[in-house]
Amino acid sequence: MAETIQVVAFEGGELRPLGSEIVPGEAVLALPLSRLVVKMVRVSEEEDAVAAASGILAAISPFPDEPLTVSCETVRETEKGRVVLAAALPEGAADDIASALDAAKINVTRVDILSLGELRGLWPQLSDGRTGVRRLVLLKGVDCLSLFVLDDDQPSAVRAITSEGDLRREVMLSLLEAEDFGGTKPLSEIVTAGDVDVSGLESFASVRRLETGEDRIALALKGVEERTGEQSSLDALPESWREVLEETRFKAKLKKFLAISGGIWALVMLVLFGVPFVFGLLTDRQKSLCKEHSRQYKSVLAMKEKVNLVRKYSDHARGALETMKMVSDLLPLPEGSDSSCIELSSWNFKRKEDDRTSGVRFSGEADSTALVYQFKDALADCGLFEQVDLQGPSAVKGGRQRFDMDCRFEKEEQE
């Protein structure tokens, strides 16, 4: 979407906008013809139009010692060269304009001629399709009467007439200037827009009035707005005003840059100081959760140990009497004998919370080593003990074999 162009006019000592109100910021300024120094100039193809027109405008400027910022708009190109409309705004005559712009907080980006915008808006009524025709156009404004001598669509003379001037005399001078610039041609008609007193002008040519509507300024500013989009249109913005505009734009960009930099700096500071703070909060929360989980884990573990302890002591299969009965039943009997040839001399039963240290340890004597090993194998295969350790057998008096047996309910972990 194209950026909206704000166009304002300075007429009658005040600023007048194209829309409903003036918005502070940048705007295109349209000025009455009487505020500018304007002249039609012919230049060759090799000449610089601004350089050629600067001397001519300086000679007719009411401020001869003031340098002018000249702008040129090409209105026609021929084999011999170009016809340009040269214009400049003397800063010495623009103090009231600058004060009004400062009060409205407006920075001017371009200066155009208000009557050129009005002439564009009236062109469909002005042109009748004829060629080789010279017309005198009078546009009535608040500050001046803008006079254009047009050869078809090319201005040959441009003049601003104040209310105090002699209109017939100014028309005569303008026609002479047009003949000197564009050659001798008969004046076909006089065209007026606005409340123009044409008394005494009927002797030059017939008079035709154009309808401008109720709001002449709006018509003119719309034409200026259209001209703003054309790169070839003139721009009479003084150099000092252009410097102020560039400085204002630079300050605006600097302010925006500083705002962005400040935001980035604030974000960096937030990261530098905020992240450790948030990380600390998260760490404290995590520690609290870990402590709570540890407390709950210890509580569950204690309950589990109590349950296991109750189950362990409720398990009669590993009780002292059941274990003694199991061991007694596994004593081997020799063939053809009703009693075992193994005698147990000591018995030590242990039942603790840790099954790896729970079990029974006993000593005994046997008639032979084969009976000892047979007894050990029976204990290992009974399913009650996970670990059965044998120490011995060793011979004692009477030819008997002494042994020690250590039976545990669970295997002992090896270090």
Residue 405 contacts residue 392 (beta carbons within 8 Å): no
pLDDT the model gives residue 378: 86
Per the CB < 8 A criterion, the answer to whether 388 and 370 are in contact is no
On the question of pLDDT at 1 being above 60, the answer is no
| Helices 114-126 + 216-228 axis angle, to 10 | 100
C-alpha torsion angle, residues 112, 115, 117, 120 (rounded to 10):
-140
pLDDT in tens, 116-164: 999 999 988 887 777 888 999 999 988 899 999 999 889 999 999 887 6
pLDDT at 236: 92
CA distance 65 to 58: 8
Report pLDDT for 2.
45
> What is the per-residue burial (b if ≥16 Cβ within 10 Å, else e) of 320-334?
eeebeebbeebbbee
Q: What percent of the chain has pLDDT over 90?
A: 35
Q: Which of 370, 327, 362, 369 is CA-nearest to residue 346?
A: 362
Percent of all residues in the chain with a pLDDT value above 70, rounded to a whole number: 92
* pLDDT tens per residue across span 260-303: 888 888 888 888 877 787 877 888 888 888 888 888 888 888 88
Question: Which pLDDT score is estimated for 176?
Answer: 94
Q: Could you report the per-residue pLDDT of 86-124, keeping only the tens digit for each?
A: 999 998 888 899 999 999 999 999 999 999 999 999 988
Q: Are 387 and 412 in contact (CB under 8 A)?
A: yes
pLDDT of 169 over the 70 cut:
yes
Predicted confidence at residue 335, as pLDDT, reads 64
Query: Does the global pTM surpass 0.85?
Result: no
Give the model confidence (pLDDT) of 376-408 as tens digits: 888 888 888 888 888 888 888 777 889 998 888
Residues paired with 86 in a beta bridge: 39, 72
> What is the model's pLDDT at position 258?
81
Buried b (16+ CB within 10 A) or exposed e, 170-184: bbeebbebbbebbee
Determine the pLDDT at residue 129: 74
**Helices H / strands E in the chain, number of each:** 9, 16
Residue 10: the pLDDT is 94
Q: Tokens standing for 372?
A: 């000892």
The pLDDT of 172-196, averaged and rounded, is 91
Query: Would you say 6 and 17 are in contact if contact means Cβ atoms under 8 Å apart?
Result: yes
Q: Mean pLDDT across the stretch 37-58?
A: 92
The answer to whether 100 and 16 have CB atoms below 8 angstroms apart is no
DSSP assignments along 110-158, one per residue: EEEEHHHHHHHHHHHHH--S-SS-EEEEEEE-SS-EEEEEEETTEEEEE
Mean pLDDT (the chain) is: 85
